[in-house]
Amino acid sequence: MQPRGSILGTRVQRVEDPQLLTRGGVYTDDLVDDALASAVHVSFVRSPIAHARITSIDLTALRAAPGFVAAFTAEDLALPGARPMLATIDERFTRPILAAGTVRYVGEPVAIVVTEGYYQAEDVGELVDIEYDPLPPVVDPLAAGRDEVLLFPDVGTNTVCEFLPEHRDEQLFENCEVVVSSEIVNQRVAPAPLETRAAAASWGSDDRLTMWLPNQGAQTSQRALAALLGLDISRLRIVTPDVGGAFGAKFGADPEHAAVAWVARELARPARWSEQRYDNMLAMTHGRAQLQTVTIGGDRDGKLRAYRLDVVQDCGAYPAIGALLPSLTRMMAPGTYRFERVESAARCVVTNTTPIGAYRGAGRPEATAAVERAVDLFAAEIGMDPADVRRRNLLPAFAEPQENGSGALYDSGDYPAALELALSAAGYDDLRREQAERRERGDVRLLGIGLASYVEITGGGDEAGAPSENALIEVHPDGTATILTGTSPHGQGHATAWAMLASDELGIPIELITVRHGDTDLVPEGGGTGGSRSLQQGGAAVQQAARELADIARLRAADMLEANPDDLRIDRDRAAITVAGSPHVAVTLAELAGVERLFVRTVFTAPGATFPFGAHVAVVEVDTETGRPTLLRLISVDDAGVVLNPLLADGQRHGGLAQGAAQALFEEMVYDDDGNPLTATFADYAFPSAAELPMFQLETMETPTTYNPLGAKGLGEAGTIGSTPAVQNAVIDAVAHLGVRHIDMPTTSRRIWEAIQTATTNAEGRL
Amino acid sequence: MIQVEVTVNGEARSAEVEPRLLLVHFLRDVCRLRATNVGCDTTSCGACTVLLDGVSVKSCTVLAAQADGHEVATVEGLAREGELHPVQAAFRAEHGLQCGFCTPGMVMASVGLLQANPHPTEEEIRIGLEGNLCRCTGYHNIVRAVLAAAEAEA
Ligand code: FES
Ligand code: FES
């Protein structure tokens, strides 16, 4: 019999799917567990005002309502709250679990209402009588930066932290023939996973809390929740049910989660919470929210020389992960380009809006959006094709790690090849011809072609140092195997991918391999899933564990078969150890496991972060009479090194492309000047459906990294990072000949129409 | 309280319920069929889609009382003797699901769509599924799955 081929790199269908397709996932709100029998239902009364003093809270009417169990305010809680995540930030920016004295955004939790059932929560919520004394709100981050209205008068400023270059180079653009500058809005968007936030809490007789929580890393959530509750982590077990999407916004633990745990303890009853979409849109962290000023300089022949990026990061009302985002933006500022000089600065401010957190890409899409817009602005200024400006300035291919001048060490890349592949797959020259023809014949449907070249950082380490992840594999006497992983899938397909890796080493069929994660009693350590780290570290750990397990099996088999371990090899057709040359002498892994437990736990450590890259081309049609943009095509080259399962990889890319295009064209969390959110429901928020998006055209390119044996880099966020500026650039490109240089995202029909009107009026004025 | 009797996946289910009880909560909490999800409060997301007398509806916008005397089909009733329904099989083959939260509703909406139009074009599928939101897949593979299912059923 021929040895079977490796399944790595093949389109293996997901083992997760039969359950999800026939009985549905078991999300937190679906859980049935004895420990949750007769649980109370927790809901939150949220501030309807962006900035106010709370003058009174009256709960009396509530107490007589049917189904009422209890109600609590900040005074009852006595919990420390969520401290800022950077040690350099003033502790007085700490976010309370429930607003104490002052509310700082619409949606901030003010009181907890506990009822027997969830329908009753809707009845009684209205009976809570809270009086507010309004304070002037500040919504615009630039206004916040002027400190005329303070969110934290004690601190005396709305500026949470600043990141400045070591010295400002006044001569940054000295030798440039052309310098272009523009202000760019990278707007606030809602992560909007289809499953909202939820929790279920139960305290055991040992006074230990079990908390079921949709999250992206149980161990991170355990630490965060323990800190919020003032508990030692040993008294807290996190269990992760199926998770209905997260996109960065389900990392750690939120104040509401701490409140649910606290209620369960206070009432000595299990407690559950599952928020409504309206609450989710108001109170789950939002993403992006940067105001950027880009300045780019170079020569008329297309050579770029210098680039400056200034960021004002809106953190929302409390500095959460939002305050960390600009560091990543700054690090990735120069993108794929060879500038002589790059400088960046950032300032983080609080405003009377929902706190900002991570959202797919988290800091990197903002960097790419800025530099890719800047390059297009430069190209327009000198009248050169944007593809040619990019060709002229991309870093050449490299296989040895290379500094980017902003603090990142790019591991490997071939940016020109990615760009050329995307351009040829798009049929770039034909598209330009068609664009010219349409313009010439005065077609009301103009064509726009947008490019983006990108590089991003994935799988970075944390404060603890080099990036690492653990895995445990055990083979059981019945021939099945279990993998424990510190990653935390919520749609990515780790159960399939990790089983493929173990199966490839050990020969155990993937259907016989169970992957478990997200229970801190079972897997005490782990970095979770985020920052596109899982395959390159978690997957690498699984492969390493499988190899180590095969080695142990050979040693044990050597004893049993009385053979020299060097003569033994693993027979992957039978999941057995055999003697080279005499395949009939064999002992299966299952048999070995029957003699003595057969398992390995290992930690894989990478030398550093990896830098996947690619190029996207977007083709849009703009109707000049209505301004309406239609995304016709999106072509992507995403090089994330060696691909383990193209089915899963393509799925990650599709999802990212859609979210990126959606930011460019549709989505924005909008507030009015008083801080009232205007897009807090799915009826108002422009979450795209299938009808607004095209099929995506994916091109393959695989440049391996040497940072892990799989050769893999991260892929989960790539789609979002390249597509956002590609689509935005395409919209602007469609109307560029009219004199339009920039349109902020989302490039809605109205904005495009207005840009056309302004440009046309200006042109007429010049005549 | 009112008495309702609904045939769910071929099985008669009767219960005393609050008049305001939504069909989705009747399915989830009375029938203990929890594949059907709730993703919004504005009839926008379609995570709750089921078939009511063969036509896809958003069960968060139908009262259990309105389903009294009618037939409801959820994703739990779709597979026959362990065999995936062609739409389910196509979703798996084409990787039309990631986190799975939109999936039961998306699958039921697709079944409803194909019943009404057995040979839809890509465009017709995209418009037909407009009321079902997915945050994970970008719809690419969902649309391909529905095309493939139409092919398979032909
Ligand atoms: S739950 Fe969103 S449409 Fe029914
Ligand atoms: S698969 Fe996650 S929302 Fe559709």
Is A379 within 8 Å of A451 (Cβ atoms)? no
Annotation: CATH topology of A287-458+609-766: Aldehyde Oxidoreductase; domain 4 (3.30.365)
Residue A17 burial (CB count, 10 A): 24
Domain with CATH 3.30.365.10 in chain A: 287-458+609-766, 461-605
Same topology, domains B2-76 and B86-153? Answer is no
Mean pLDDT score, B122-149: 98
Residues in chain B with CB shorter than 8 Å from the CB of A193 are 99, 101, 135
* pLDDT tens by residue, A657-690: 999 999 999 999 999 999 999 999 999 999 999 9
The label of the residue with tokens 């190029």 reads A615
Q: Which of B109, B100, B122, B117 is nearest to B153 (CA)?
A: B117
Residue of B nearest to A490 (CA): B99
CATH architecture of structural domain B86-153: Orthogonal Bundle (1.10)
Q: To the nearest whole angstrom, how far is the Cα of B69 from the nearest Cα of chain A?
A: 24
Residues in chain B with CB shorter than 8 Å from the CB of A719 are 138
Beta bridge partner(s), residue A610: A458
Q: Hey, are the CB atoms on A119 and B18 less than 8 Å from each other?
A: yes
| pLDDT of A259 over the 90 cut | yes
Q: State the pLDDT at residue A114.
A: 97
Which residues approach ligand 2 with their CB closer than 6 A?
A 194, 245, 491; B 97-103, 134-137
Residue of A nearest to B101 (CA): A244
Task: Assign 3-state DSSP to chain B and report helix, strand, coil percentages, each to 5.
Answer: 40, 20, 40
Q: State the pLDDT at residue A764.
A: 79
Q: How far apart are CA A224 and CA A218, in angstroms?
A: 10
Of B44, B99, B143, the CB nearest to A683: B44
Burial class (CB in 10 A: 0-12, 13-18, 19+), A223: middle
Q: Hey, are the CB atoms on A651 and B136 less than 8 Å from each other?
A: yes
Optimal mutation site among A12, A13, A19, A20, interface B, most CBs of chain B within 10 A: A20
Annotation: CATH topology of A461-605: Aldehyde Oxidoreductase; domain 4 (3.30.365)
| pLDDT of A447 over the 80 cut | yes
Residue of A nearest to B21 (CA): A119
Indicate which atom in ligand 1 lies nearest the CA of residue B59. 4
Q: To the nearest whole angstrom, how far is the Cα of A763 from the nearest Cα of chain B?
A: 39
Total-model pTM: 0.97
Q: Hey, are the CB atoms on A194 and B39 less than 8 Å from each other?
A: yes
Q: To the nearest whole angstrom, how far is the Cα of A58 from the nearest Cα of chain B?
A: 28
Domain with CATH 3.90.1170.50 in chain A: 31-135+192-283
CA–centroid distance, B131 to ligand 1, in Å, is 9
Is A52 within 8 Å of A676 (Cβ atoms)? no
Q: To the nearest whole angstrom, how far is the Cα of A491 from the nearest Cα of chain B?
A: 4
Q: State the pLDDT at residue A1.
A: 37
Q: Dihedral of CA A585/A591/A593/A595: which sign?
A: negative
Indicate which atom in ligand 1 lies nearest the CA of residue B43. 3
Q: State the pLDDT at residue A624.
A: 95
Residues in chain A with CB shorter than 8 Å from the CB of B75 are 21-22, 24
Residue of B40, B107, B135 to test ligand 2 pocket, by largest number of atoms within 8 Å of CB: B135
Mean pLDDT score, B128-136: 98
Q: What Å distances lie between residue A517 and A284, A488, A489, CA to CA?
A: 24, 6, 8
Homologous superfamily of domain range B2-76: Beta-grasp domain (3.10.20.30)
Annotation: CATH topology of A31-135+192-283: Aldehyde Oxidoreductase; domain 3 (3.90.1170)
Q: State the pLDDT at residue A302.
A: 98
Residues in chain A with CB shorter than 8 Å from the CB of B28 are 30
Name the residue ranges covered by the structural domains of chain B.
2-76, 86-153
Residues in chain B with CB shorter than 8 Å from the CB of A116 are none
Is A707 within 8 Å of B67 (Cβ atoms)? no
Q: How far apart are CA A285 and CA A61, in angstroms?
A: 32
Q: Which of A126, A119, A133 is nearest to A61 (CA)?
A: A126
Residue B130 beta carbon below 6 angstroms from any ligand 1 atom: no
* pLDDT tens by residue, B9-32: 999 999 999 999 999 999 999 999
